Amino acid sequence: MSVMKICMLGGTGFVGRSIASKLAAHGHEVRVLTRRHERNRDMLVLPTLTLAEGDVSELGFLREHFQNIDVVINLIGILNSSGKNNFQRIHVDLVNKLTEAMQQAGVRRLLHMSALNASKEAPSKYLRTKAEAEDQLHQVSVTADFAVTSFRPSVIFGPNDSFINRFAKLLRMAPKVLPLACPNARFQPVYVEDVAACFVNAIHHYDTFGQRYSLCGPKPYTLFELVTYIADLIDARCRIVRLSDWQSRLQAGVMQWLPGKPFTLDNYNSMKVDSVCDSKFPEVFDVTPQPLEAIAPAYLREPQDQLDLFRRLARR
Ligand SMILES: NC(=O)c1ccc[n+]([C@@H]2O[C@H](COP(=O)([O-])OP(=O)(O)OC[C@H]3O[C@@H](n4cnc5c(N)ncnc54)[C@H](OP(=O)(O)O)[C@@H]3O)[C@@H](O)[C@H]2O)c1
């Protein structure tokens, strides 16, 4: 595999870090654009990685950093919209700038992160703007002469994920009862290293040019099943109570006003569509997706949980 010059947007996040590590391991030169150089200095341990601080919404900044770049990877996405940081600006306007800058700098390859169920008819703005961005990229790529591949994962898990870890935290904090919104929502979690492998394998693979891939792990779960599994793993004692649809909506309506917006009406709406795949993991990437059960125990249990489990097993 020849060495490539790759520029990543959103490369400092949960998924971006896995992709960046794999790219560096293959010897590729990786430039990561970030709003916060200092906060992400730890990434500089990767020998072929550099960080560039700036505003990705500025065309000039993108154009400057796309010079002599073979591949752009766009991972920027938000789950909650507020003020300037809104879905339209971060998902749609950004890809317009991105394609303009790519054309000006002559970049011919783009890997883009979308989301499963992204559709212009989706019930949530998160999914609608993801779809708008994805469709625009694929349309523009035809006339602008660059090859795009889009990835549409279900929820992604791994040591620093925000989904599984968040429920583990809530279960540890909940005194006796955890009221669970949207308990029947369905997900098919996919391992972050498998997603990262798809990105890396797609770079040179001509069959993936112009394609969109849904990425799911091997097994679907309801949210209730997932949270119950997490509770068993960390030996949480609280009872998980399934909220009805109107109670879930009410919880979202209230929680979206809390600091950090832990759960919003848009999140609630996005869970109305099952986040599961109707076909197998795309064979083109030569990846066998890992089940949650093979990975989560190692990162979810705190040292004390691990010790307790060891004691319980020893007593048997
Ligand atoms: N995690 C999942 O379960 C999941 C599932 C489906 C799809 N996705 C998609 O996958 C992508 C990556 O997800 P992730 O979990 O890795 O996200 P993440 O950890 O939140 O990282 C996203 C990165 O994007 C950059 N970013 C965020 N808001 C920005 C803004 N307003 N302006 C400029 N840059 C901004 C940040 O980089 P700096 O702070 O360094 O600037 C951040 O490191 C997203 O597009 C997401 O929608 C994720």
Query: In order of start, what are the domains of the chain with their CATH numbers?
Result: 5-157+190-215 (3.40.50.720)
Give pLDDT, residue 82.
87
Rounded alpha-carbon distances, angstroms, from residue 173 to 149, 166, 169: 41, 11, 6
Tokens matching residue 67:
């010079």
Q: Coil, strand, or helix at residue 28?
A: coil
Q: Whose CA is nearest to atom 17 of ligand 1?
A: 13
Query: 10-residue block means of pLDDT along the chain (316 residues)?
Result: 93 98 97 98 97 98 98 97 93 97 97 98 98 97 94 98 96 94 98 98 96 98 98 94 98 94 96 96 98 96 61 59
Q: Whose CA is nearest to atom 37 of ligand 1?
A: 10
CB-CB neighbours of 174 under 10 Å: 16
Nearest alpha carbon to residue 124 among 87, 74, 84, 167 = 87
Nearest alpha carbon to residue 46 among 26, 66, 72, 68 = 26
Q: Which protein residues touch ligand 1 with a CB less than 6 Å away?
A: 10, 12-16, 34-36, 40, 56, 75-78, 85, 90, 113, 115, 153, 155-156, 163
Give pLDDT, residue 278.
94
* d(CA 306, ligand 1 centre) in Å: 31
Give pLDDT, residue 281.
98
Atom of ligand 1 minimally distant from the CA of 35: 41
Give pLDDT, residue 310.
57
CB-CB neighbours of 315 under 10 Å: 6
* d(CA 313, ligand 1 centre) in Å: 39
Atom of ligand 1 minimally distant from the CA of 15: 16
Q: What is the DSSP letter of 29?
A: E
* d(CA 76, ligand 1 centre) in Å: 4
* Distance from the first to the final alpha carbon of the chain: 51
Q: Coil, strand, or helix at residue 236?
A: coil
Could you tell me whether strands 212-215 and 49-53 are parallel, antiparallel, or unpaired per DSSP bridges?
unpaired
**Phi, psi (deg, nearest 5) at residue 193:** -70, -30
Nearest alpha carbon to residue 151 among 231, 74, 83 = 74
Tokens matching residue 124:
């949530």
Q: State the Cα angle at 72 between 67 and 119, rounded to 5°.
A: 140
Q: What is the DSSP letter of 118?
A: -
Contact between residue 129 and residue 87 where contact means Cβ atoms under 8 Å apart: yes
Q: Is 294 exposed, middle or buried (0-12, 13-18, 19+ CB in 10 A)?
A: exposed
Atom of ligand 1 minimally distant from the CA of 85: 31
Give pLDDT, residue 301.
80
Atom of ligand 1 minimally distant from the CA of 36: 40
Type and span of the H or E element at 240: strand 239-242
Rounded alpha-carbon distances, angstroms, from residue 271 to 70, 127, 170, 268: 37, 10, 19, 5
CA distance 2 to 316: 54
Contact between residue 182 and residue 268 where contact means Cβ atoms under 8 Å apart: yes
CA distance 48 to 213: 28
